[in-house]
Amino acid sequence: MDQSPPSKRSTILWILLLLAVVFLWWYLRPHSDRGVSAAELEADRAAALGTDPDEILVDLRDDASAATVAAIERELGLDLVLVSREARDEQLYRARVEPSRRDAVLAALSRRAEVEVAEPDATFWLTPGEAYEVQPPSGTWEGFPDDPLYAKQWHLKQIGMPEAWKLADGDGVIVAVLDTGVAYADRGRYHQVEDLKGLEFVKPYNFVDDNTHAEDDHGHGTHVTGTIAQVTHNGVGVAGVARNVKIMPLKVLGGNGSGSVAGIADAIRYAADNGAKVINMSLGGPFPSKVLKNAVAYAHKKGVVVVCAAGNDGRNKVGYPAAYPGAIAVASTQADEATAFYSNYGKDIDLAGPGGNTRGGEAGGVLQNTIKVGDPTKSGYYAFMGTSMASPHVAGVAALVVGEGVTNPAMVEQILKETARRPSGKKYSSDRYGAGIVDAPAAVKKARSHHGAWQAGLALLLAAAVAASARRRGLGVKLGAGYLGGAIAGSAGLLFFLPLLAGSIASWPVVEAMTRGLPSLDMALLGGAERGHPLFMSALLPLGLVALGAGHPRLRAVVAGLAVGVAAHLLFFAAVPVFDVRWVPGAFGTLDALWLSANAALCAGLAVLTLRR
How distant, in Å, are the alpha carbons of 18, 235, 238, 240, 280 from that of 149? 55, 10, 5, 12, 24
- The band of 43, judged by pLDDT with boundaries at 50, 70 and 90, is very low
Mean pLDDT of the 352-367 span: 94
Mean pLDDT of the 28-33 span: 59
What pLDDT does 78 receive? Answer: 95
CA 456 to chain centroid: 26
- The band of 548, judged by pLDDT with boundaries at 50, 70 and 90, is confident
Other C-beta atoms closer than 10 Å to the C-beta of 71 total 13
Longest CA span, the chain: 90
- CATH 3.40.50.200 domain range(s) in the chain: 134-447
% of the chain residues with pLDDT over 70? 88
Q: What is the pLDDT of residues 457-499, one digit of tens each?
A: 898 988 888 888 888 877 777 788 899 999 999 988 888 777 7
Q: What is the pLDDT of residues 504-542, one digit of tens each?
A: 666 666 677 777 888 988 887 777 778 889 999 999 999
CATH class of 134-447: alpha beta
What pLDDT does 504 receive? Answer: 66
Q: What is the pLDDT of residues 160-186, one digit of tens each?
A: 999 999 989 998 999 999 999 999 999
Higher pLDDT among residues 454 and 332, named by residue? 332
Catalytic residue flag (residue 388)? yes
Higher pLDDT among residues 6 and 525, named by residue? 525
| Homologous superfamily in CATH for domain 38-125 | Peptidase S8 propeptide/proteinase inhibitor I9 (3.30.70.80)
Computed over every residue of the chain, the mean pLDDT equals 88
Strands (E), 90-227: 92-96, 115-125, 132-134, 174-179, 200-201, 205-206
Alpha helices in 278-429 (DSSP H): 290-301, 387-403, 409-419
What are the beta bridge partners of residue 288? none
Crossing angle for the helix pair 409-419 and 387-403, to the nearest 10 degrees: 110
Q: Which of 10, 121, 218, 220 is catalytic?
A: 220
Distance (Å, whole) CA 315 – CA 114: 38
Q: What is the pLDDT of residues 92-110, one digit of tens each?
A: 999 999 999 999 999 999 9
Q: Which of 84, 332, 388, 391 is catalytic?
A: 388
* pLDDT value at 345 more than 50: yes
Distance (Å, whole) CA 179 – CA 175: 12
Q: Do residues 115 and 287 lie in contact, with contact meaning Cβ atoms separated by under 8 Å?
A: no
Please state whether the peptide bond connecting residue 392 to the residue before it is cis, i.e. omega within 30 degrees of 0.
no
DSSP one-letter string for 456-477: HHHHHHHHHHHHHHHHHT-B-S
Mean pLDDT of the 201-207 span: 98
Q: What is the pLDDT of residues 76-89, one digit of tens each?
A: 999 999 999 999 99
Higher pLDDT among residues 381 and 478, named by residue? 381
Distance (Å, whole) CA 422 – CA 233: 29
Distance (Å, whole) CA 109 – CA 117: 8
What are the beta bridge partners of residue 281? 178, 308
* pLDDT value at 130 more than 60: yes
In 3D space, the residue among 609, 559, 549, 575 whose CA is nearest the CA of residue 457 turns out to be 575
Catalytic residue flag (residue 552)? no
- The band of 360, judged by pLDDT with boundaries at 50, 70 and 90, is confident
Q: Do residues 319 and 40 lie in contact, with contact meaning Cβ atoms separated by under 8 Å?
A: no
Q: What is the pTM of this model?
A: 0.88
Q: Do residues 549 and 555 lie in contact, with contact meaning Cβ atoms separated by under 8 Å?
A: yes
- CATH 3.30.70.80 domain range(s) in the chain: 38-125
List all residues 6 or more positions away from 391 whose beta carbon is below 8 Å from its beta carbon: 224, 280, 281, 282, 307, 308, 309, 330, 353
* pLDDT value at 39 more than 70: no
Q: Do residues 442 and 210 lie in contact, with contact meaning Cβ atoms separated by under 8 Å?
A: no
% of the chain residues with pLDDT over 90? 65
